[in-house]
């Protein structure tokens, strides 16, 4: 009975995760692997856990290897570069059971504790109700096409074609619906009007050629022609006026959304990208798109309508001749198709080259001091030269494509025009067609070839804009790694208790930087984080700010999981003083009041006072109105630091984070900063990292990290007396203090 119900229960999703219960025949856990480690080849197989055995089964269901539970002591996952291996530890040693690439690592890691529980269970207990997390990527699936959605975007792009992408962008036009409707109406009207002149010319020619032609009729026709031209010009003006206005606003809206999307993205996104590219991308891609959405779209629609209108007139004038136009059409379409694919890849690679150029410029400017100090201007110039040449070559190959295509179009249309002249002329000579009709016909034909000839250019335009649209959406849709839950709570006040529970995190999943972190920080407590560089101190701090989410385990503030708190609300309660203080373009007062712009001057001065910054600010001729930041007055490191402390004081957060706040300043400045800090720390939960261990001596507790793990915890005296990790760190620092330091 129990087995029956277990079977029924199997696969039933609980909280979106399929739970399978143990059964004697059915596996209770399946893990996939994709590398055959004996042959070093890709091969898909599964590691299956049954109640008494662990088996490796290939895709055909054939068992490759079986291990009995009794022979297994432990299991482990060993990370490699690009993948990992699953090991079982037996009495005879370690055996590699499976090897797999990156996407399969996490399920194994998550399964290890459960497998250990399974190994610990006595055999006699029989069927166990071990709920196991089955591999499930339910959350990553698209609701429309059920395909796994990509890791880097929040939208499933498999089911969204280019056209639906365009329609999303067209949604930006919604606020301008009425002026755009006017535009469209004018467009249809102007196309209609544009078709009239050749017909009027036909009537004029026929009237003139007629022996009984009347001057009055001629005058009326000529006036009609003039009126049509005036009307057409007027409409053009109105259309352009509306186009420019709509275009300007449209591009503004897209740029705004792109910038908004960039700010919304998590730190992780920026960790892996060269940020200077986004300046160019926000400008160029939106510009490209605007050009198309306003001018391009109008042009496309006009030409299409015009083509249809002219075709109608041609058939109306002489259907036999007009039918000839249809002959080259299939060839044209084939040509367009060929061209489309070429254009697409050419545009993309040209865009990439442009981005590389942007990146080189951006990097050089950011590192200009180093470049100059090492006299590497020439090396940088050469680097630029390389990417620039690449771009040039791309542009040339693009030009070459047009060079080849344009003459073909020209010759094709010219030959066709000549044929019409010949055949039409013959009809006129045989009396089946009037001269006027022939004139109109050839005029229409020329007009008709206009759009056809332009269509190549149009194709390129469309292609380029679609590419830009794609890359704009790439940013707007980029997946936020640390998203706010829909029901995330707002914390009005916090007491400041921070609890780490089994936290593991790695910037790259296969290389954890923090492992098994269990730590409870009491409200108002001051914690000093100690450890060698690379031990994971800054990462730990980043986790508190929720710049990243743990790969496993959880972090809670006052009992609320950080993931359940609105990020904006969380960070309002956290004040940060970092080693490097970034000052924004603005006055000192504005910089101190960053994050709280509505503060009265009294509190700003009070904060500066408490931060020991007031005196140096007053010594500046422009006082609190001194412009600082990229284009302003240069403050020294210690001065900037005190601005940062004032900023944090003004914010009055319950939690305070100090990351190497006193590094790289002289002793006197350090004293001033220390004094300011001690005022700041009072009554707040503080987590501090300091290079000089002496500055952390008064911390309530020191947490010693080594290779991502907490190895020691206690007060300075306790840890020093233990003579292990902390003691060694302190002693080695004493040693370095004795020897004269190198530079600065």
The binder of another protein chosen from 207, 470, 525, 549 (CB under 8 A) = 470
> Given CA atoms 421, 424, 429, 434 in this order, what sign does their dihedral have?
negative
Q: Give CA separation, 575 vs 165, 525, 565, 643, 718, in Å.
A: 41, 15, 17, 13, 29
Out of 55, 94, 135, 549, point to the residue binding another protein (CB under 8 A): 94
User: What span, in angstroms and rounded, lies between the C-alpha atoms of 638 and 646?
Assistant: 12
The CA distances from residue 306 to 313, 452, 569, 680, in Å, are: 10, 11, 57, 73
Structure tokens that stand for 449 in this block: 């070839």
Stretch that binds another protein, among 20-28, 161-169, 542-550, 572-580 (CB under 8 A): 161-169
Task: Name which of 80 and 189 has its Cβ closer to another protein.
Answer: 80
CB of 732 to another protein, least distance (A): 16
What 3-state DSSP class applies to 137? coil
- Residues in a beta bridge with 527: 687, 701
Using the contact rule CB under 8 A, the part of the chain among 52-60, 79-87, 682-690, 718-726 near another protein is: 79-87
Verify binding: residue 462, another protein, rule CB under 8 A.
no
Q: Which of 60, 151, 430, 735 binds another protein (CB under 8 A)?
A: 151
Contacts by 245-250, CB closer than 8 A, 24 or more apart:
245/179, 246/173, 246/176, 246/179, 246/180, 246/183, 246/294, 247/290, 247/291, 247/293, 247/294, 247/295, 249/175, 249/176, 250/172, 250/173, 250/176, 250/290, 250/293, 250/294
Query: Rounded to whole angstroms, how far apart are CA atoms 437 and 435?
Result: 5
CA dihedral 634, 636, 640, 646 (to 10 degrees): -110
Nearer of residues 96 and 666 to another protein, judged by Cβ: 96
Q: Is residue 56 within 8 Å of residue 41, measured between CB atoms?
A: no
Residues 262-291 binding another protein (CB under 8 A) are: 272-273
* Candidate list 69, 162, 560, 679; residue touching another protein; CB under 8 A: 162
Q: Which residue is associated with the tokens 């700041």?
A: 680
136 binds another protein, rule: CB under 8 A: no
**Among 396, 371, 393, CA closest to 381:** 371
In the complex, the smallest distance separating the C-beta of residue 437 from another protein, rounded to whole angstroms, is 48
Q: Kindly tell me which of 72 and 607 has the beta carbon lying closer to another protein.
A: 72
In angstroms, the Cα distances linking 718 to 676, 723, 725 are 27, 9, 12
Whichever of 58 and 675 has its CB closer to another protein, that residue is 58
Q: By C-beta, is 36 or 206 nearer to another protein?
A: 36
> Which of 61, 93, 330, 600 forms a contact with another protein (CB under 8 A)?
93
CB-count exposure of residue 710 (10 Å: 0-12, 13-18, 19+):
buried
Shortest separation between residue 34's beta carbon and another protein, angstroms: 9
Q: Which is nearer to another protein, 239 or 471 (CB)?
A: 471
Q: Is 509 in the site for another protein (CB under 8 A)?
A: yes
Q: Map the footprint of another protein across residues 25-54, applying CB under 8 A.
A: 35, 37, 40-43
Q: How far is the CB of 155 from another protein (least distance, A)?
A: 10
Considering only 10, 64, 103, 443, the residue that binds another protein (CB under 8 A) is 103
Q: Which of 579, 707, 715, 733 binds another protein (CB under 8 A)?
A: 707
Write down the residue that tokens 């998590």 correspond to: 266
Contact predicate 581/594, CB 8 Å: no
Kindly state whether residue 75 participates in binding another protein, applying the rule CB under 8 A. no
Contact string 362-401 vs another protein (x = CB under 8 A): ----------------------------------------
CB of 162 or CB of 627, closer to another protein:
162
- Integer angstrom CA distances of residue 437 from 154, 191, 313, 448: 59, 21, 11, 16
52-63 residues labelled b (16+ CB within 10 A) or e (exposed): ebbbbbeeeeee
* Interface pick for another protein out of 157, 298, 526, 655 (rule CB under 8 A): 157
In the complex, least distance from residue 626 CB atom to another protein, rounded to whole angstroms: 41
Which is nearest to 47 in space by CA: 83, 99, 119? 99
Question: In terms of C-beta distances under 8 Å and separation of at least 24 residues, what long-range contacts does 323-329 make, across chains too?
Answer: 324/416, 324/419, 324/420, 324/423, 325/416, 325/445, 325/448, 328/412, 328/416
95 touches another protein (CB under 8 A)? yes
Q: What is the DSSP string of 733-744?
A: HHHHHHSPPS--
Site for another protein in 346-365 (CB under 8 A): 348-349, 351-352, 355
To the nearest whole angstrom, how small is the minimum distance from the Cβ of residue 99 to another protein? 7
Candidates 53, 150, 232, 395: give the one binding another protein (CB under 8 A).
150
Cβ proximity to another protein, 42 vs 422, nearer residue: 42
Under the binding rule (CB under 8 A), the answer on residue 76 touching another protein is no
99 versus 202: smaller Cβ distance to another protein = 99
**Interface residue with another protein, options 21, 160, 350, 538 (CB under 8 A):** 160
DSSP 172: G
Contact partners, residue 207, CB within 8 Å, separation at least 6: 213, 214, 217, 218, 221, 436
Binding mask 680-699 for another protein (x = CB under 8 A): --------------------
Return the residue of 19, 20, 47, 83 that touches another protein, per CB under 8 A.
Answer: 83
Order of strands across the sheet that contains 685-689: 574-577, 655-659, 685-689, 526-530, 701-706, 709-714
Q: Is 152 in the site for another protein (CB under 8 A)?
A: yes
Nearer to another protein, 36 or 291 (CB): 36
> Which string of x and - marks every residue 560-579 that binds another protein (by CB under 8 A)?
--------------------
Task: State the number of binding residues for another protein (CB under 8 A).
Answer: 46
Contact window for another protein (CB under 8 A) among 67-75, 85-93, 324-332, 695-703: 85-93
Binding piece for another protein, criterion CB under 8 A, among 160-168, 372-380, 486-494, 725-733: 160-168
Q: Which stretch binds another protein (CB under 8 A): 146-154, 210-218, 405-413, 652-660?
A: 146-154
Q: Number of C-alpha atoms within 13 angstroms, CB side, residue 473?
A: 24
Q: Is 606 helix (H, G, I), strand (E, B) or coil?
A: helix
Q: Which of 66, 77, 64 is nearest to 115 (CA)?
A: 77
Minimum Å gap between C-beta 380 and another protein is 16
CB 96 to another protein: min, Å = 7
| 535, two tokens | 């031990």
Q: Which residues bind another protein (CB under 8 A)?
A: 35, 37, 40-43, 78, 80-83, 85, 92-96, 99, 101-103, 150-153, 157-158, 160-162, 165, 272-273, 344-345, 348-349, 351-352, 355, 470-471, 473-474, 509, 707
């Amino acid at each position: 009975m129990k087995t029956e119900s277990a079977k029924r229960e199997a696969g039933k999703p609980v909280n979106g995760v399929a739970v399978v219960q143990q059964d004697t025949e059915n596996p209770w856990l399946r893990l996939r692997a994709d590398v055959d480690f004996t042959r070093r080849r890709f091969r898909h197989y599964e590691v299956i856990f049954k109640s008494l055995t662990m088996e490796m089964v290939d895709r055909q269901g054939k068992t490759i290897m079986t291990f009995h539970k009794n022979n297994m002591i432990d299991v482990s996952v060993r990370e490699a570069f690009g993948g990992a291996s699953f090991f079982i530890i037996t009495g005879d040693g370690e055996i590699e059971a499976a090897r797999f690439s990156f996407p399969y690592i996490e399920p194994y890691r998550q399964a290890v504790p459960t497998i250990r529980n399974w190994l610990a269970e006595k055999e006699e207990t029989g069927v166990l109700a071990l709920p196991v997390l089955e591999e499930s990527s339910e959350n990553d699936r698209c609701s429309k096409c059920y395909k796994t959605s990509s890791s880097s975007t929040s939208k499933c792009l498999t089911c969204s074609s280019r056209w639906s992408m365009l329609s999303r962008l067209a949604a930006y036009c919604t606020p301008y619906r009425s002026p755009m409707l006017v535009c469209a109406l004018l467009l249809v009207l102007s196309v209609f009007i544009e078709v009239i002149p050749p017909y009027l010319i036909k009537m004029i020619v026929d009237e003139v050629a007629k022996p009984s032609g009347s001057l009055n009729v001629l005058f009326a026709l000529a006036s009609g022609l003039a009126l049509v031209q005036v009307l057409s010009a007027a409409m053009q003006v109105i259309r352009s006026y509306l186009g420019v206005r709509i275009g300007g606003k449209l591009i503004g809206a897209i740029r705004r959304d792109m910038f908004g999307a960039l700010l919304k993205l998590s730190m992780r996104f920026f960790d892996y990208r060269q940020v200077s590219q986004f300046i160019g991308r926000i400008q160029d891609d939106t510009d490209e798109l605007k050009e198309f959405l306003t001018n391009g779209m109008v042009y496309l629609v006009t030409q299409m309508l015009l083509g249809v209108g002219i075709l109608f007139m041609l058939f109306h004038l002489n259907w036999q001749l007009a039918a000839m136009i249809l002959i080259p059409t299939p060839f044209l379409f084939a040509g367009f198709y060929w061209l489309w694919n070429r254009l697409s890849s050419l545009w993309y690679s040209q865009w990439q080259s442009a981005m590389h150029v942007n990146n080189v410029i951006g990097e050089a400017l950011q590192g200009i001091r180093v470049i100059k100090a090492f006299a590497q201007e020439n090396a940088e110039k050469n680097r630029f030269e390389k990417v620039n040449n690449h771009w040039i070559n791309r542009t040339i190959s693009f030009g070459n494509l047009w060079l080849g295509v344009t003459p073909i179009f020209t010759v094709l249309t010219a030959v066709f025009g000549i044929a019409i002249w010949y055949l039409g002329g013959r009809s006129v000579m045989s009396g089946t067609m009037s001269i006027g009709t022939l004139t109109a016909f050839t005029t229409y034909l020329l007009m008709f070839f206009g759009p056809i000839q332009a269509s190549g250019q149009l194709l390129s335009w469309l292609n380029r804009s679609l590419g830009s649209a794609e890359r704009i959406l790439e940013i707007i849709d980029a997946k936020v790694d640390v998203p706010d839950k829909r029901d995330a709570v707002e914390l009005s006040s916090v007491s400041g208790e921070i609890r780490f529970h089994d936290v593991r995190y790695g910037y790259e999943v296969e290389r954890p930087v923090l492992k098994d972190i269990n730590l409870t920080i009491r409200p108002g407590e001051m914690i000093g984080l100690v450890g060698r560089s690379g031990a994971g101190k800054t990462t730990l701090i980043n986790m508190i700010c929720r710049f990243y989410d743990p790969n496993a385990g959880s972090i809670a503030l006052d009992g609320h999981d950080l993931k359940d708190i609105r990020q904006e609300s969380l960070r309002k309660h956290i004040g940060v003083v970092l080693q490097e203080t970034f000052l924004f373009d603005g006055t000192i007062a504005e910089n101190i009041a960053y994050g709280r712009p509505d503060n009265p001057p009294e509190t700003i001065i009070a904060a500066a006072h408490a931060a020991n910054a007031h005196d140096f600010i007053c010594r500046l001729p422009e006082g609190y109105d001194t412009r600082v930041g990229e284009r302003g007055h240069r403050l020294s490191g210690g001065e900037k630091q005190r601005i940062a402390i004032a900023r944090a004081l003004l914010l009055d957060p319950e939690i305070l984070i100090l990351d190497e706040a006193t590094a790289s300043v002289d002793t006197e400045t350090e004293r001033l900063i220390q004094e300011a800090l001690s005022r700041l720390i009072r009554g707040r939960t503080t987590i501090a990292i300091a290079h000089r261990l002496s500055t952390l001596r008064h911390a309530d507790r020191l947490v010693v990290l080594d290779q991502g793990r907490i190895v020691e915890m206690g007060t300075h005296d306790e840890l020093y007396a233990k003579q292990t990790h902390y003691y060694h760190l302190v002693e080695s620092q004493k040693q370095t203090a004795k020897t004269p330091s190198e530079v600065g």
